[in-house]
Amino acid sequence: ERKQLHRLRREPTRTTDGVDIKLYANAESRDDVAEAHALGAAGVGLYRTEFLFLQRNELPDEDEQFRAYRDVVLGMTGRSVTIRTLDLGADKADKTGLALRDEPNPALGVRGVRLSMARDGLLETQLRAILRASGYGPVRVLVPMISCAEEIRTVRRLMQQVAADLRKQGHEVADKIPLGAMIEVPAAAIALPGFIHAVDFLSIGTNDLVQYLLAVDRNNEALGNLYTPLHPAVLRVIRDVIRLARARGKPVAVCGEMAGDAAFAPLLLALGLEEFSLHPATLLEVRRAIRGLHLDSLRKRAPALMRARDRAGIEAWLNA
């Protein structure tokens, strides 16, 4: 069984009706990157840069960040690397003093892009490091906790300015560095028609999207099974985001834990998803699941999925 899974390292992630699905890896360490490469991931779909900032008292400077990002890019040997700007907040064990302390509601507080924009030089330094790494292979920039168009426009302006500065200083910067938004705040999903033109790609963060849509803390075990993507509201939002992205020709992935659960693969394919980003530990299982699925039949069953009224109905669809 293990051995069989292992053999899938070199196999395509192709449905039984011949459609190739892209499996990217979520990574935060060197080991993750090496594993992603060995498993034949299409690239790194989510590089969580928090890792560089946690468990230490001082901020990593531009050069340290640059070396870390460059190593990820080199490690993926030409496959694309999506680097997410810092998603730090009082919800994470931050010792650098960047995040506010004792926020009453950290999940709704100064985290993600809000923190990046609130601290002088933080985002600029990180973008300089990322853009310098783009001289070594294909890089995309992904911004967490986007809730409105203005945030993405601000990041884009800064990116353009940073690129110009770097080139003036003699650094090589890629011509095209796609800029994407995490879709994890419900408002961003709902308002997406108004700002999708401002992004180059999207990545749906179901971990937070589920938390915010259902008002269920992703870390509160007392809430038991209330925290689940198997809710009609969640499916509708995911479907709408994928549909709009596809209609506008913007790549869209799911990068939350949901994408790494092989049991959910039929559902995500039915909703139109063609790019998954998941932890390397689950990549082969998801590949195996997808290789047993018929995409066209699943898409035809999407209306039945959308008619499900509750978790039981969605589970019945999955088991049918």
Query: 306 — phi, psi (to 5°)?
Result: -70, -20
87 binds ligand PEP (CB under 6 A): yes
Q: Which is nearer to ligand PEP, 207 or 228 (CB)?
A: 207
Does residue 279 interact with ligand PEP by CB under 6 A?
no
Nearer to ligand PEP, 48 or 287 (CB): 48
Which of the listed partners (ligand PEP, Mg ion, none) does 151 bind, with a CB threshold of 5 to 8 Å by partner kind?
A: none
Per annotation, catalytic residue among 255, 258, 265, 271:
255
Look at residue 82 and give its three-state secondary structure.
strand
Q: Is 205 in the site for Mg ion (CB under 5 A)?
A: yes
**How many residues comprise the chain?**
320
User: Is 105 known as a binding-site position?
Assistant: no
255 assigned to active site: yes
DSSP class per residue in 220-281: -GGGGGG--S-SHHHHHHHHHHHHHHHHTT--EEE-SGGGG-GGGHHHHHHTT--EEEE-HH
Contact status: 297 vs ligand PEP (CB under 6 A): no
CA distances 244 to 49, 147, 193, 224, 270, Å, are 28, 17, 7, 32, 15
Q: Among 28, 94, 151, 184, which residue sits at the site for Mg ion (rule: CB under 5 A)?
A: 184
As a whole number of angstroms, the distance between CA 288 and CA 285 comes to: 5
Smaller CB distance to ligand PEP: residue 75 or 205? Answer: 205
Q: Give the long-range contacts of residues 12-16, CB within 8 A, separation 24 or more.
A: 13/286, 13/287, 13/290, 13/291, 14/290, 14/291, 15/269, 15/290, 15/291, 15/293, 15/294, 15/295, 16/291, 16/292, 16/293, 16/294
Q: Give the SS3 label for residue 317.
A: helix
3-state SS, one letter per residue, for 166-194: HHHCCCCCCCCCCEEEEECCHHHHHCHHH
- The secondary element (H helix, E strand) that includes residue 154 is helix 149-168
Stretch that binds ligand PEP, among 37-45, 122-130, 206-214, 265-273 (CB under 6 A): 206-214
Among the listed residues 207, 226, 285, 297, the single contact to ligand PEP using CB under 6 A: 207
With respect to ligand PEP, which residue has the nearer C-beta, 75 or 256? 256
User: Per the annotation, does 207 bind a ligand?
Assistant: yes
- Asked if 205 touches ligand PEP (CB under 6 A), the answer is yes
- Is residue 250 part of the contact set for ligand PEP (CB under 6 A)? no
Q: Which of 37, 48, 140, 287 binds ligand PEP (CB under 6 A)?
A: 48
* Residue 257 binding Mg ion, by CB under 5 A: no
Reading the block at residue 297, the tokens are 């039949």
Find the shortest distance in angstroms from Cβ 184 to ligand PEP. Answer: 5
Stretch that binds Mg ion, among 33-41, 69-77, 120-128, 183-191 (CB under 5 A): 183-191
* Span 138-197, contacts to ligand PEP by CB under 6 A: 184
Q: Which is closer to Mg ion, CB of 162 or CB of 181? A: 181
Contact call for residue 208 and ligand PEP (CB under 6 A):
yes
Cα torsion angle, 63, 277, 155, 49, sign: negative
Residues belonging to the binding site for phosphoenolpyruvate are 48, 84, 207-208, 218
Residues belonging to the binding site for Mg(2+) are 184, 208
Give catalytic residues, as residue numbers: 255
List residues binding ligand PEP (CB under 6 A).
48, 87, 184, 205-208, 255-256
